[in-house]
């Protein structure tokens, strides 16, 4: 069984025991979180829209890979380099009920 869930403004297709990275969530490692914005659920044969809940457990808080932002205007002598690392939370899907 799978579900398409809206987590922190992004949509994810999840199954039981999946581990995914989402934008930083409130809570500590080991806390349980529940998502009620379910867009679609389904299995091999039938698909239904909304109506269920997905529960997950927070495994870890971490930072993503560095993304380099480089701006340049040619022939003007302007160069600007900047970097960014996104704060992420690793969660494990426990149940789709």
Average pLDDT along the chain, 97 residues, taken 10 residues at a time: 93 95 95 94 88 92 97 98 97 93
Domain count, the chain: 1
pLDDT for res 30: 94
Residue pair 52/96 in contact (Cβ under 8 Å)? The answer is yes
- Predicted pLDDT at 14: 95
Looking at residue 27, what is its pLDDT?
94
pLDDT of amino acid 85: 97
Report whether 72 contacts 36 (CB < 8 A): no
- Model's pTM, two decimal places? 0.82
Give the residue numbers spanning the domain of 34: 2-96
Q: What is the CA radius of gyration of the chain?
A: 18
| 3-state SS, one letter per residue, for 21-85 | EEECCCCCCCCEEEECCEEEEECCCCEECCCCCEEEEEEEEEEEEEEEEEEEECCCCEEEEEEEE
What is the structure's pLDDT at 50?
81
């Amino acid at each position: 069984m799978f579900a398409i869930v809206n987590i922190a403004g992004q949509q994810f297709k999840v199954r039981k025991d999946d581990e995914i990275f989402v934008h930083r969530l409130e809570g500590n490692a080991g806390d349980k979180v529940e998502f009620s914005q379910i867009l679609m659920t389904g299995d091999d044969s039938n698909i239904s829209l909304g109506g269920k809940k997905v529960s997950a457990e927070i495994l870890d808080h971490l930072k993503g890979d560095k993304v380099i932002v480089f701006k340049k205007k040619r022939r003007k002598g302007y160069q600007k380099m900047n970097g960014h690392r996104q704060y992420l939370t690793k969660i494990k899907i426990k149940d789709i009920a």
